[in-house]
Amino acid sequence: MRIALVAPLYERVPPKRYGGTERVVANLCDRLVEWNHQVTLFATGDSLTKAELVGLAPQALRGSERYVDPIAWHVLMMERLYKHADDFDLIHFHTDYLQFPMARRLDTPHVSTLHGRLDLPELAPLYREFAEMPLVSISLAQRKPLPGARWVGNVYHGLPKQSFSFTESPSGDYLAFLGRISPEKGLDDAIAIARASGMKLRIAAKVAKTDEHYFRREIKPLLASSDIEFLGEIGEHEKRAFLGEARALLFPICWPEPFGLVMIESLACGTPVIAYPRGSVGEILRDGESGYIVADRAAATAAVAKIEALSRRRCRQIFEERFTADTMARAYLSVYQSLVCGSQRTRPIPEVI
């Protein structure tokens, strides 16, 4: 099958550090190529991929001092793609809604995976206008604000089995917080939970420019303690040991998280997750099996006290059963096949090898 994968240009594929969407695209791309599909990746020029790369922006745009307007590069990418759309059996977009005006005029079958929150008020009229767009959600919870959209699939994110190794007996006596520092991620709750539990908290998190004021005002004063260690943003190799040696991952979010890649990264290491019941959490975690889903700080503190009752091996098993890159890629291929076979350009599609 000839497939175009279209990634956002804010980070390279895969990202050097933070960047969930680009990591998902990288994992999907590699699996499709390994299964002998002809894949073309539209991404930044510094991306690393097994597919044929069409590099648009020379480098990741987020944090770039040279390139100021990211939309210009994305518009250029859509135009380049439009000119070559007939070269593909299917186009898979990961660029939110930027492609909608162009995609409406495509003859080539296409689908868009939505990676962000959909409860913002300005999105409802946009998706009503483009109601014919075939969409894939990354959790059923993500769909709730747009029940009338054309959902053609729900595909959970997946990671390569070998990307995170299982740690059965962690040596670190700490709780972990990993991701991004912003109000919705609940780091202030994580700090309070760790302190109430009498355990050290290690924080590996990015501070985006838009969240610097929040970090300085709300979070930085909480870090002046020997039981709190702030590591900043870490890379993939550092992340494996960071999660694997933790007793548990704290995920006290206060927003409708569409997926939460860090949860399955933690499970891949065998590390259970303690999380608040918002967004996708109830779909990803199995309460009392791969972690604890709790209502507030007090319940989270109580969950920390019984974390050793959970089987780390079972956490890893759940990851392998539900959240591998192979599982994700097979689900997407099923979506692709239904769209291509339902179009006027129907042609036989080779089986996965």
pLDDT digits (tens, 9 = 90+) for 108-157: 999 999 999 999 999 999 999 999 999 999 999 999 999 999 999 999 99
Query: Which tokens in the block code for residue 105?
Result: 């005029």
What pLDDT is attached to residue 348? 39
The three-state secondary structure class of 115 is coil
Going by C-beta distance under 8 Å and a sequence separation of 6 or more, which residues neighbour residue 307?
A: 247, 248, 272, 274, 292
Longest dimension (CA), the chain: 64
What is the pLDDT at residue 311? 98
CA 327: distance to chain centroid? Answer: 15
DSSP assignment string, 156-220? ---B-GGGS---SS----EEEEEEE-SGGG-HHHHHHHHHHHT-EEEEEEE--GGGHHHIIIIIG
The helix/strand/coil state of 302 is helix
Instruction: Compute and round to an integer the Cα radius of gyration of the chain.
Output: 21
Question: In the prediction, which pLDDT does 208 show?
Answer: 84
b/e per residue, 62-83, with b = 16+ CB within 10 A?
Answer: beeeebeeeeebbeebbeebbe
Give the chain's residues under pLDDT 70: 344-353
pLDDT for position 66: 85
Burial of residue 124 (CB within 10 Å: 0-12, 13-18, 19+) is middle
pLDDT reported for residue 64:
78
pLDDT at 345: 46
pLDDT tens-digit map of 308-329: 999 999 999 999 999 999 999 9
CB 171 within 8 A of CB 340: no
Distance CA 203, CA 178 (A): 6
20 Cβ neighbours under 8 A, 6+ residues apart: 115, 157, 259, 261
Q: Of 166, 116, 122, 173, which Cα lies nearest the Cα of 141?
A: 116
Q: What is the C-alpha separation between 237 and 109, in angstroms, rounded? A: 37
The pLDDT, as a whole number, for residue 328 is: 98
pLDDT reported for residue 225: 85
Q: How many whole angstroms separate alpha carbon 272 and alpha carbon 291? A: 5
> What pLDDT is recorded for position 52?
97
Q: Which two tokens stand for residue 272?
A: 């259970």
Domains and CATH numbers, the chain: 2-158+324-341 (3.40.50.2000), 161-322 (3.40.50.2000)
The confidence score (pLDDT) of residue 165 equals 94
